Amino acid sequence: MLDNEEFIVEPSPRELTQNPLRKIWMPCKNGHIAQRRVCMTNCPTLIVTVGLPARGKTYISKKLTRYLNWIGVPTKEFNVGQYRRECLKTYKSFEFFRPDNEEGLKIRRQCAMAALNDVRQYLSVGGQVAVFDATNTTRERRETIVKFAEQNGFKVFFVESVCEDPDVIAQNIVQVKLGSPDYIHCNTEEAVEDFMKRIKCYESSYQPLDEILDRDLSYIKIMDVGRRYLVNRVLDHIQSRIVYYLMNIHITPRSIYLCRHGESDLNIKGRIGGDSGLSSRGKEFAKHLRKFLQDQNIKDLKVWTSQMKRTIQTAECLGVPYEQWKSLNEIDAGVCEEMMYEEIQEHYPLEFALRDQDKYRYRYPKGESYEDLVQRLEPVMMELERQENVLVICHQAVMRCFLAYFLDKTAVELPYLNCPLHTVLKLTPMAYGCKVESIYLGVDCVNTHRDRPENVNVQRTTDDALQTVPAHF
């Protein structure tokens, strides 16, 4: 009988409205957009490093943290060694790490738990990935971490670095460990001797991840700095991206050269986007760029351009082979393509203000945002990590995205990085960062850099909106 049946009343679908900043459809209620947190992981992930000292764990942790933040996954590194330094204040010798040093073991255990507590706090307030950077060489320690993760609803992914090459280990000690606060008052020989003894303290208790005993864990084992890999139980999208990234990075010394195309006809007119050719000064820059590369005498240099006329014209002057990437094309300004900032303010004042309020996430109508551009550039960045010496002839927004990756800049800083025309930036990756050299090639050009104006309110005056627009013809 109908009277006895239970009916489940389905809630009616909410109305949708387009977010004016990002141009994406979102639920709304009573005219207000519902707040929604975008999450690229289905639950928080704890990445745990494993390995003896001087095996590149911190190098991996820092690069991985930088990469994940760059692609939009909130990530933070927790280095247990730093917790130990803050606790002890002064490092005396390797004796602290001896397996029979009960006091040392107690302090190290306390530091690890303090770091895990901070991991819990971070992942509970919006963080999506935490990198727990420590040796974690015993199965007992790793089981403690797995139990901690299970209790807090985190997924765990282990990253083990195994290296038996004495030259690589020695190079790591000299490049990184001797600059550590632990050895600030030691000479090189004393520091190397002490650190080698510290490694010995860990070797006796080291239990590497095992294909049989640890078959239920998710991990990647990196052997001899990327000569071989072992990957086990990759469970989700974020773990897959981590594996893909770690299998593409290398430590071979190299330099990456970034520059924009030569000055274009539209640059002179103060118009954004478009696909114009080079101005006379832009062509002169291309000749200077050729001489610069000849003087540098860079071994096996590869040249990449976008598929836009101005970068290809610039590369044509170099007299060397080059590769075109559509992914390197300039940010798509949609309906604002080939407009001056003054015209955008006149025809689209709301759009102009919204972009100034959040330049990274703002999407041009029928165009792109910097957030979109980073996603488009990720495959290029991955290939750039695989290469050695490369010159990338690109565009202002594209160059900003690359710089933000290598210099570890935030989404707020990225859209305002200064990337002038007719200037080459030489990036040389270092152990925990990147050395930057700026080389101006001496050819005059217009300035296309626009800083964030003080007033970003939608009701601002035209003068306020155009406050930082660079001069043009």
Distance of CA 421 to the CA centre of its chain: 24
CA distance 86 to 241: 33
**Could you confirm whether 163 is annotated as catalytic?**
yes
From residue 371, give the alpha-carbon distance in Å to each of 17, 46, 78, 357, 359: 21, 25, 26, 14, 9
Whether 330 is catalytic is yes
Is the CB of residue 157 less than 8 Å from the CB of residue 142?
A: no
DSSP-derived secondary structure for 353-369: HHHHH-TTT---TTS--
Could you say which of 263, 330, 351, 356 is catalytic? Answer: 330
What Å distances lie between residue 327 and 169, 222, 305, CA to CA?
Answer: 37, 30, 10
**Beta carbons within 8 Å of 207's beta carbon, 6+ residues apart:** 137, 138, 139
Q: What is the separation, in whole angstroms, between the first and last Cα of the chain?
A: 81
* Contact call for residues 225 and 165 (beta carbons, < 8 A): yes
Out of 111, 160, 163, 284, pick the active-site residue: 163
**Phi and psi at residue 364, to the nearest 5°:** -60, 145
**What Cα–Cα distance (Å) separates residue 125 from each residue in 42, 74, 120, 239?**
15, 11, 9, 21
Read off the tokens for 377. Answer: 């550039």
Q: Outline where DSSP puts E strands in 87-165.
A: 129-133, 155-162
The yes-or-no answer on residue 224 being catalytic is no
213 and 19 Cβ atoms separated by less than 8 Å: no
Q: Which residues contact 162 (CB under 8 A, 6 or more apart)?
A: 51, 55, 208, 221, 222, 223, 224
Question: How far apart, in whole angstroms, are the C-alpha atoms of residue 135 and residue 126?
Answer: 26
- Residue 210 annotated among the catalytic residues of the structure: no
Q: How far apart are CA 400 and CA 374, in angstroms?
A: 10
What does DSSP assign to residue 128? Answer: -
Annotated active-site residue in 77, 111, 182, 261: 261
In contact, 197 and 94? CB cutoff 8 Å = yes
Given 77, 111, 133, 378, the catalytic residue: 133
Cα–Cα distance, 453 to 464 (Å, whole number)? 7
The 32-33 sheet, strands edge to edge: 15-18, 25-29, 32-33
Structure tokens at 248: 């593409």
How many C-beta atoms surround the C-beta of residue 72 within 10 A?
17
Q: What amino acid positions are annotated as catalytic residues?
A: 133, 163, 261, 330
